[in-house]
Chain A
C-alpha cells in the first residue's frame, strides 16, 4: 500500500478549569464496513501459519472506491453536525485538524464546514497516512500557530468503520 507511513505523536491531557479543552464530541461506528478496510490475517479468525505466509490477506486491504465514498460523506457530515450543535459558523472555527488519508476527503470536509484553506491543517504530502498519528502530528507541526482559546475541530474516519469529530478549545 502506497498511502501509509510511519510516525508517532502524543499529547498530554490535564484537567482544565478555564473552560478550554474538550467541549464536545461525536463518535460513530458501523461494523458492516469491516471487509472494506481490513488487515484480515493475524488475529484468531485467521492466524498466520507457515502455509499462508506472504498471502495478500496478511497485509492491509482497502476497497478504495467504497471507502472513499463512505469517508467523504461521513467525515463531512459529522464535522457539520458538531458545528451545528455548538452553534459554530465557519468563521468561528479557527482550525480543522482532519485525519490525513486523502486530500479530496479533507477538502470536502473543509468545504462543508465553510472553512477557507488557510484554516485546515494538511501535511499528508510529507507523511502520508500514519493512522492514529495524523491528527497529533498536525497539532505538533502547527503548535506554534495555535493560540489559547482557539476553536479547533478534529475529524477522523477509519477502518471498522469508525468516525467522529471533536470540538475543543486550545488551552495554551
Chain B
C-alpha cells in the first residue's frame, strides 16, 4: 500500500462567549493594557463559563465538523485531543468527547505537547492514516 497524505478536509472552532479584556485584567492584577498589548499583541481573550469543560467545546467541534462535511460522527475512526487542560487526569478528554459527540466508533487519546499540541497530533495522524483501519 503506497503512503497517502493526510489532508485537512474540514475545520471548525468554538470559543467561549465570555470576553476578558486587558482593561478587565487591570482591575484583577497589577498590569495594564499598554503593557500587555505592546509586549504580546493581545487585547482580549475568551474564558469558559463555570462548569464548561474542554470536552464540551471539543464535542461541539466534532459535531459541527461532521455536519459541515456531511458525515455521521459514527464514521469517525479516531479522535486525538491535543491539550494541557484536559477535563481530568484520566479518562482522556478524547474518550469523553467521543461519547458526547456520538463518535462512538472512534478511539483516541489526549496528547500533551503544550503549544506544539496541534502540529504534533497532526503529524501523528498523517502516519496513522496509513493504517488500514483508520480512514478519518
On A, residues with C-beta under 8 Å from B are 2-17, 19-23, 25, 27, 37, 39, 99, 101-104, 106, 122, 124-137, 139-141, 143, 154, 156-160, 162-166, 168-172
Contact of B16 among A6, A134, A140, A160 (CB under 8 A): A6
Q: State the CA gap A154–B82 with chains docked (Å).
A: 16
Q: State the CA gap A99–B118 with chains docked (Å).
A: 9
Residues of the B chain whose Cβ atoms lie less than 8 Å from the Cβ of A140 = 11-13
Contact of A12 among B5, B10, B113 (CB under 8 A): B10
Residues of the B chain whose Cβ atoms lie less than 8 Å from the Cβ of A169 = 7
Interchain Cβ contacts within 8 Å, total number: 224
Say yes or no for B74: interface residue by CB 8 A criterion.
Answer: no
> Helix, strand, loop or mixed for chain B's interface?
mixed
Q: By the criterion CB–CB under 8 Å, are B42 and A3 in contact?
A: yes
- Count the B residues whose beta carbon is within 8 Å of the partner chain — how many? 57
Q: Interface 1/0s, chain B 28-58, versus A by CB < 8 A?
A: 0101000010011111111110000010011
Shortest beta-carbon distance from A22 to chain B in Å: 5
Name A64's closest neighbour in chain B (CB-CB).
Answer: B39
Q: State the CA gap A1–B82 with chains docked (Å).
A: 21
Q: By the criterion CB–CB under 8 Å, are B15 and A6 in contact?
A: yes
**Known contacts being A14-B7, A21-B5, is A136 close to B118, with CB within 8 Å?**
yes
Residue among A19, A158, A172 having the largest count of chain B Cβ atoms under 10 Å: A158
Q: List 20 A-B contacts (CB under 8 A).
A: A3-B36, A5-B45, A8-B60, A10-B11, A10-B58, A12-B65, A13-B7, A14-B136, A15-B129, A21-B5, A21-B126, A22-B6, A102-B41, A122-B41, A127-B44, A129-B42, A132-B117, A132-B118, A136-B13, A156-B119
Q: State the CA gap A21–B127 with chains docked (Å).
A: 12
Minimum-distance CB pairs A-B, first 4: A158-B115, A132-B117, A5-B45, A103-B41
Shortest beta-carbon distance from B130 to chain A in Å: 8
Residue among B8, B47, B123 having the largest count of chain A Cβ atoms under 10 Å: B8
